Every structure is written in structure tokens, then in C-alpha cells.
A and B are shown apart, each in its own frame.
Chain A
Amino acid sequence: MPSTFEYTWDTPVYKGSTSFSTGLYINGKFIDGSNNTTIDVINPTDGKTIASISEGTPKDVDIAVDAAQKAYDTVWGLNCPGNERARLLNKLADLLIEHSDEFAALEALDNGKTFGWAKKADLSMSVDVIRYYAGWADKIHGSTIETSEDKLNYTRHEPIGVVGQIIPWNFPLMMMCWKIGPALATGNTIVLKPSEFTPLTALLAAKLIDEAGFPPGVVNVVNGYGDTVGQAIAEHMHIGKVAFTGSTLVGRKIMVAAAKSNLKNVTLELGGKSPSIIFDDADLDLAVEWAAHGLYFNHGQSCSAGTRIYVHENIYDTFLQKFTEKSMSLKVGDPFGQDTFQGPQVSERQFKRVMDYIESGKQEGATLHLGGHRVGTEGYFITPTIFTDVHPEMRIVREEIFGPVGVILKFKDDDDIIRQANDSVYGLAAGVFTSNVKRAIKTAHALHAGTVWVNCSNTTYANVPFGGYKQSGIGRELGEYALDNYTNVKAIQINLA
């Protein structure tokens, strides 16, 4: 029998408690993993273990796929009308709202982000996304297409069947909702692997999915490691599609596994090294606020973080001064503290990785303009860090760091800045700051990025698509576009002649 995780908070910003099973959620039940092993869940503020959750294995993936297939064939898929799928998704949204603070606290505990940000950003977007896709469930239209009067040609947008979903640790609950929303709305059943670093909110969500009334087998949550459970999902012969959000490195493996197994459909949402371009006619104070948000939001652990900040030489000094002040004002500390902006990085591994990049920046000759060190002696806290006097070949300029570390570069040429901004294997997002609309539109159109933010940064809406150009990904999430990831188009041609 899997253990129950129980936790009580008594903090300045939140008092409350939670309780849920730590088992694998398969076929409507919480069960032990096949090997009866567990994974420890670490609190990144102090490195201590807070929970042990059941570890899934490839065999558990098989069991989950069987359950998902059975549910798809009997009580889900097109056996369940769209408005019923809508009702259940709306019920889940209601439950998320009801448990909103509990989720925010759990996310803060497990991931290290502040309770305030978890509530304001993660929870509100999670609810919005589930509600948004609930609204689509009975609106999955095909087309009737005119060819000639003696033919009836039409399309159906059918669910794919059992889909595999592998989500990251940076926005655990939110990423789960971005995935399950469109998949369930279109009638698919799911085998989902949360990140082994941040499994807790997925388990609480599984409890509520059950409470909402989704039939057993429709959603299955199998915790485990990437190279066991994740790999098993990617190469499974009876999973029709895999959706992955995470590093570009792992994304390649997923795509290779899909190709080698059953050529399952693959969507990937991978890394980025997104440029923020500050032109000399930008509203400087606003640009500073947004550029800081773009860089430091979620401790820099955001795929679309604006980590390369290009500033026009005319305003460079002023911008740098203001940006530095802003960066210094961000309080790093306890996720449950009153004024904390930034908690710890998610894990020891990530902490080391970011610190290694900082070291490489120094070694490659960049100027460490601000920060560059650990905060405190416990946990994985890193102070907001800025490098200047960098050149495009440096690792800190080319590679995704995934921490509160930004590089600031000077530019002077409007045309060349486009070239510089696009000079990356990534293409997830970009930010453009200018008060000249013509320049904003021309620049936005010229950038190789799946999202271009003009005079803002890192804002998302449930109904606006999101995804990457180039090595930042394949496919789009959010908006109507996500539905395409989870449907199979069947064209039916009826000869009436």
C-alpha cells in the first residue's frame, strides 16, 4: 500500500494542510510501483527529504497503457460525448480553485518557487487552461468539403487514443494542465509522467481528477525516472502520441525513440535562449521591469526566459544602471516569506549546473557585473546574476543556463540586431521594446521565434498559442492550435454515384 503524504504549513503567507496518496495513479487507484521502490522528494530550501513517492517502472507503464486503452475503448474516446468531457473538465477546474492555496503551497514546497508566484501565476493559469479546453470539448469540428454533387466528402477529427505526456519540474501543475486539458477535451486517454524532482502537485491533482468523476483509466499518473518510465512511454508500441516538455537534449531522445518504435506522433516543447531587444526609443522604465521579469521569473527556470538582453548603445548605460538596481531589489529567500521574490533553484543538480555556467562565464572572460554566488549555506539559492562584455561565442551566451543569470549586450544597428537575435539554434520566444509601432511590427515579423512579445515579456494566455521554432520544439500548445496535437484527421469520401 502506498503511503499517504501529509503536510501542514504554518507560515506568514499560508496556513493549511494537505494529504494525498504517494502511489502511482493507474486505473482509478493509487498503487505501489511494480518494484516496490520509491523516489525521495527533496525540499530545495534545505536539501532535506520531505516525502517518498512510489517509483514506476516500464512494467507499470504497460499496466497504465492497458488501463488507458480499455477506458478509451469503452467509456472515453468518442463513447463519451463532448459536453460530458466538458462537464468533467469544468468540475476539475472547480476543484483546482477550491484547493488553490493548498496547491500553491505544495508547489512552493516541492519546487521552491514562492507561494505568492505559485498562486498568482501557476494556479491561475492552470485553472484558465482547464476551463479553456473544457470549452472546446464539444466543438471539435471536422469539415464537409465540396467536390462534386455525387460525392459526400467530410473529415472527422478523431482522438488519437492513448497519449503519453512527459512534463518538467519548472511549472509542475501548470505543465500538467497544459497537457491534459487539450488531450482530454479531444477524447484521448493519458499516461502522464511528472518530473521525478517535482511529483507532488501531480499526485494531488490525480486525487482531484478522481474526485471530479473521470472514469478509471482516463488519466494515469506514473511517477518515475526519465530513462526508465519516460523512455518506456516514448518507445511504447501502443501509445499513439507523445508530448514532451523539457530539455532539447532529452527531446531528441524522445523523438528517436518514437521513430524507432511505432512512429508515434511527437510534440516537443524544449529549451530557449530568448533575446530581449531594447531599442533606444523604448519606454526605459517599463523595459527594465519587463526585461527583469523575462529573465528572473521562476528563478530563470523558464523555457522562454529572456536571457540575452540586447540594449541599444544610446541607452545602454542608463539601462544597465536601472536594470542592476532592479536586480538588486529582488529578495531571495524562503518561498513562504513575506517579501520573497525568488526561492531556491529546484535541485542540487540544477544548482551545480547554474554555478558551473557562472564559472564558465568568468573563465571565458565575461565581466561579472552583478551577483554570481550562492545565497546562504543551505538549499540551492543563487543570487540574481548579470554578465556584461560578452561575445556571441561564449557558452553563457549560446547555451541555456536555466537560472537567474542573464547576459547584457550592446548593439547599434537595427538590421544587424535581427541577425544577432536570430543567431541561435533555439527559437522559442523573443521580446521587443520600442515605442515605434512600425519598428515593432517589422522586428516581430523578422524574428525566428514562436512567440514575440512586444513591450512585455513572458505573459501567456490559455487561448494564445505557444511553441518553438528551430530546436526549441515541434508543434504548438495552448489556443485552438493544441487541438491538432491530439486529433487524427480522417477524411471520408462517400461515392453516391
Chain B
Amino acid sequence: MAQPVEISITATGRKVTLPTGLFINNEFVPSVDSSDVIQCLNPATEEVICSVVAGSAADIDRAVAAARAAYNTTWGKNVGPVERARLINRLADLMERDRDVLAELESLNNGKPVRVARDFDIGDSIGCLRYYAGWADKITGQTIEVDNKTKLAFTRHDPIGVCGQIIPWNYPINMWAWKVAPALACGCTIVMKPSELTPLTALKLSELIVEAGFPAGVVNTVASLGSVGGAALAAHPDVDKVAFTGSTVTGRKIMEAAAKSNLKKVSLELGGKSPHLVFESADLEQAANWAALGILYNTGQDCTAGSRLFVQDTIYDKFISILVGKAKEMVVGNGFDEKVSGGPVVSKVQYDKVWSYIESGKQEGATLALGGQKRPGKGFFVDPTIFTDVRPDMKIVRDEIFGPVLSVAKFSTEEEAVKLANDTSYGLGAGLHSKDADQCMRVSSALEAGTVWVNQYNLLYNNVPFGGKKQSGIGRELGSYALDEYTSVKAVHWNFGEKLDWPF
């Protein structure tokens, strides 16, 4: 085990060599004490792609030790900012070079369309790396006046140290970049645990880490079950910080484990049930496009999916008919088909979960305006599904479904819309469509979400922060704000003139 395998991608004829071991200290190695493997499936065909080594708790120990050693010797404060920037930029160059291979691998394992993976997931990831490379030599502290005659006070923004990073399966490469880039720019070392559903691109990217020239141990990749590797990282006494993106349920466990072990710093990017509001003055055609994007992009497998749509009653019928038309235009199929805009959901477990919500929607009395029929044949395909006449207490309205399933309700006043929108324990994203500028300002201020989109949805930029309020998360990614997650502030009080009298 841990030998590379060759994968044949039937649709393009490409052969890809894939490392299958645990990536520790710049080498791919077998598990130290386990023969477990993770089988990686192609969700469009349900076929096995390959198996990779499944890391154990002991392997996590090894990876953390490697990351710590690197932090103390070749990384951390031992490497200058210009060098960190150079390596991160080099990594971006290599991702650019291997863009097509990575896109096909991502599509094979996750199901998303190849062109979306290449242009959006990987394009944004390359931009993210370059963005944080630019920050590496700009992480400044403050000098602070206290007493000019005797004291010098200043802060240093030190790297936090060894970071455990646990990423999800919905945007494997993009989530990898969001975590790796700021951590490296700040001088941290990393033990990365990719999702057990989609570890392949993280392993392929580990080859680029070596090629870019990062010292051994700076980035380590341990594919592992969440309950094994993820839990081990969260509880590890020598990990200084854990960053997790995934479900709120798991996020709680991570935070609990961090509290019980060494009070490591925690940042969490969790679930959402983001509201999407369409007011009567909105450009309905555009709003329908954005609303469709909001629930159907990535087949609804997006933490900020606009999964609760609230439409003002005066335009409700007209808007719904436009929206249903848009949703019908969405082609869901195999990611290697150029015509396709959305792929399957990622796994059988997700497929069953999404369908059980669809069933519950029907049972709780919502009206099915679109979808609701399973496809025959192979592949975890779920077609766009729209429920109308929903009530706030329905499961499909309260719970995060993580599929292309939209719940739609009416509202009459702005106050009612805001109240409905905020009636959730989540607070990740929100969208509103209106041509009334004052209304846009009032409503965007009132919505309890970490990102509010006005007259658009879903689109992010590497230099604008992202994260959740309420139970959607702790901390912010992207923008300059991510730097705060990977630095630790030390204040230095330097006395050069005060003599202390004793006894005090």
C-alpha cells in the first residue's frame, strides 16, 4: 500500500498517476499501524476510482510531529516573508500548469462539471494562493507609545504554529486553497485532513508542494475518516489551532475536543440555511437567475446555498413561474459532459439524505412545484427540486439539506421578510433583490448573516472576508481577516529607563 496508482479517465483518455499514501515530511508513506484504506468513488457512475491509505490516530501523531519539527527549524520564524511569498506563488504557478489534470480529477471524485472545476474552483484557488502570497511580507504589528522616556511597547504578529486543517468534500481544491494559503503566508505549518469522500486532489496537490520547494513537514496531508483523523487533530495536545469547514454537528465536536485538550484556537465554517429575499421592485429576470444559481450551483452542496426563498406577495406568481423555468434549464449530469451545469451529489449517504428531505417535504404538506422524481440508473443524481407553500416549522425549512432543494414562501412587508429570514440558528449568507436603495441598505443591515449579497448571490472574492454569524461559524476566511486566524499577537514591553523601587 501507499504506492501510486494510475487512473484512466475514460471521457478524456487522460491517464493520471495518483499518490495514495499519507503525505508526511514531503514523502508518501504507508500508515504506521493500520491497513485500513478509503475507497474513493465516482459519484456519477458509482464506480470505485481507487483506494488510498486511511490515516490512523498514530499517523496524525507522526504528521503533527513533522509539522512541529518543520515549524521549529525550517518554517515558522526561521523562514523570511519574501521566501514564503515566493514558494506560495510557485505553488500557484504549478496549479496553473496542472489546471486541466486537477479539474478532471476533481470532477471524477466530486462530480462537479470539469469546466466549472477548472474555471471557478481552480481559478479561484490559484487567485487565493497569489492573494495570500502578497500578504506574506505585510503582516505588521504596532509600535505603541506608552512612556517616551523609558519604554518601548510593540506587538508582533507571530505565526500561531502547527495548524490542523479539516476540509469538506463540496469544493475540495478550493477549500484546500482557502486553508493552506493564509496559514503558509503567516508562517504556520499544516496537517491537512481532506474529506474521506474526496481526498484525491489533496493528494495530487501534495506533489506540487514538493515540486514548489516547500521544506519537508511544512504541509502534511493525512486522508482519514473524520471520526479518526479529524478527531485526533481536534484533540491533539501539540496542535496550536484547528480550522474546520463542514457540518455544524461536527463543528461542535471539534470545538469540544479543542476545549477538553489544550484549548487550541478554533475557527469553524459550518452550515447555513441562507435566506434569499426578492422584493417587488427587483429585476425579476435577474433575481430569478441569481436565485437559481443560489440553490443549484454545485448541485446545492454549498454552505451558503440560498435554500429559503422569500418572495414578496405582489410579484410572487410571476416570479415563481420565471424561477421554475430557470431551474428547468439547468442540465444535471456527468461532469465530463460539456453541456452539463451540475453534477451528481457526492455520495450515497448524501443522496439518501437529500431524498429523505424531499420525502419529508411532501409528507409535511409542501407543494412540489418542480422535481421530486428519482432518476433511474447509476449515479447520485438529484434534479432541481422546488417546494412552495412551506411553513417555517417544516423540516425542509429548518434543516440544511445540502442538495438542489429550494423552499419558497411569501411575505408581504419588509419587516416580515427580515423576521422570516433571521428565523434560523444559522447565519452564513443572505441575499436580497430590490431596486430601492434605501431598502437595500436597511435590509442588508438587518440580516443576521456573515455575507449579505445585494442584487446578486454566491459570488465571492479572495480579498473579501467570509464566515458565519450565530451557529454558522467562528472566525473569518478570505481577505485580510484570515490573517487573524493564523497569527498570535505578542505584546513586548521593553523597559530601558524605569527603575523599580522596592519594597513596592
Query: Could you tell me which A residues sit within 8 Å of B by CB distance?
Result: 82-83, 86-87, 90, 128, 131-132, 134-139, 141, 149, 152, 437-438, 441-442, 445, 462-463, 480, 494, 496
Contacts and interface: CB of A to CB of B under 8 A. Distances in A.
A90 B89 contact: yes
B442 A496 contact: yes
Contacts of B148: 445
Contact of B497 (A137, A141, A438): A438
Contacts of B138: 135-136, 139, 463, 480
Contacts of B135: 135, 139
B85 A131 contact: yes
16 contacts: A82-B463, A83-B462, A86-B134, A131-B85, A132-B137, A134-B134, A135-B133, A139-B138, A149-B445, A438-B496, A441-B496, A442-B497, A463-B81, A494-B441, A496-B441, A496-B442
A133 to B, nearest CB: 9
A480 B141 CA distance: 12
Interface residues of B, number: 26
B171 interface: no
Nearest to B441: A496
B424 to A, nearest CB: 23
A138 B127 CA distance: 11
Contacts of B140: 480
A471 to B, nearest CB: 25
A345 B138 CA distance: 36
Given A138-B463, A480-B140, 20 more contacts: A83-B130, A83-B463, A86-B130, A90-B89, A131-B82, A131-B85, A135-B133, A135-B135, A135-B138, A136-B134, A138-B134, A139-B463, A139-B480, A141-B480, A152-B441, A438-B496, A441-B496, A463-B138, A480-B138, A496-B441
Given A90-B89, A152-B441, A496-B441, A135 B134 contact: yes
B438 interface: yes
B492 to A, nearest CB: 12
A139 B133 CA distance: 12
B131 A128 contact: no
B368 interface: no
Chain A CB count within 10 A is highest, among B133, B438, B496, for: B496
B229 to A, nearest CB: 34
B463 A463 contact: no
A428 to B, nearest CB: 20
A121 to B, nearest CB: 15
Contacts of A494: 441
A437 B496 contact: yes
A120 B24 CA distance: 37
Interface in B409-446: 438, 441-442, 445
A360 to B, nearest CB: 40
Contacts of B462: 83, 138
Interface in B91-108: none
Of the listed residues A134, A138, A141, the one surrounded by the most CB atoms of chain B closer than 10 A to its CB is: A138
Interface in B453-504: 462-463, 480, 494, 496-497
A310 to B, nearest CB: 21
Scoring B134, B148, B494 by chain A CB atoms within 10 A of each residue's CB, the highest score goes to B134
Contacts of A87: 130
B152 interface: yes
Contacts of A462: 137
A152 B437 CA distance: 13
A441 B85 CA distance: 31
Contacts of A149: 445
Contacts of B134: 86, 134-139
Contacts of A437: 496
B156 to A, nearest CB: 15
Contacts of B496: 437-438, 441-442
B83 to A, nearest CB: 12
Nearest to A132: B137
B301 to A, nearest CB: 27
Contact of B152 (A82, A139, A441, A496): A441
Contacts of B85: 131, 135
B127 A83 contact: yes
A480 B127 CA distance: 22
Nearest to A140: B463
A480 B497 CA distance: 31
B363 to A, nearest CB: 44
Contact of B137 (A90, A442, A463): A463
Nearest to B86: A131
Nearest to A185: B134
B447 to A, nearest CB: 15
Nearest to A141: B480
B281 to A, nearest CB: 17
B148 to A, nearest CB: 7
Contacts of A445: 148
Contacts of A86: 130, 134
A278 to B, nearest CB: 20
A83 B135 CA distance: 13
Nearest to B92: A90
B135 to A, nearest CB: 7
Contact of B131 (A138, A438, A463, A496): A138
B157 to A, nearest CB: 13
A292 B325 CA distance: 78
Interface in B103-147: 127, 130-131, 133-138, 140
A83 B462 CA distance: 10
A135 B480 CA distance: 12
Closest 4 CB pairs of A and B: A135-B134, A438-B496, A463-B137, A138-B463
Contacts of A83: 127, 130-131, 462-463
Nearest to A137: B134
Contacts of A139: 134-135, 138, 463, 480
Contacts of A480: 138, 140
A266 to B, nearest CB: 26
A440 to B, nearest CB: 9
A374 to B, nearest CB: 41
Nearest to A439: B496
Contacts of A132: 137
A2 B463 CA distance: 44
Most A CB within 10 A of own CB, among B135, B138, B441, B462? B138
Contacts of A152: 441
Nearest to A138: B463
A239 to B, nearest CB: 29
A139 B82 CA distance: 17
A438 B497 CA distance: 8
B371 to A, nearest CB: 38
Contacts of A138: 131, 134, 462-463
A85 B138 CA distance: 18
A61 B477 CA distance: 46
B75 to A, nearest CB: 19
B97 to A, nearest CB: 15
A90 B462 CA distance: 18
A86 B81 CA distance: 18
A136 B85 CA distance: 13
Contacts of A441: 152, 494, 496
Nearest to B80: A461
Nearest to B496: A438
Contact of A135 (B137, B152, B442): B137
A488 B478 CA distance: 26
A243 B354 CA distance: 62
Contacts of A438: 496-497
Nearest to A436: B496
A36 to B, nearest CB: 44
Nearest to B494: A441
A151 to B, nearest CB: 10
A132 to B, nearest CB: 6
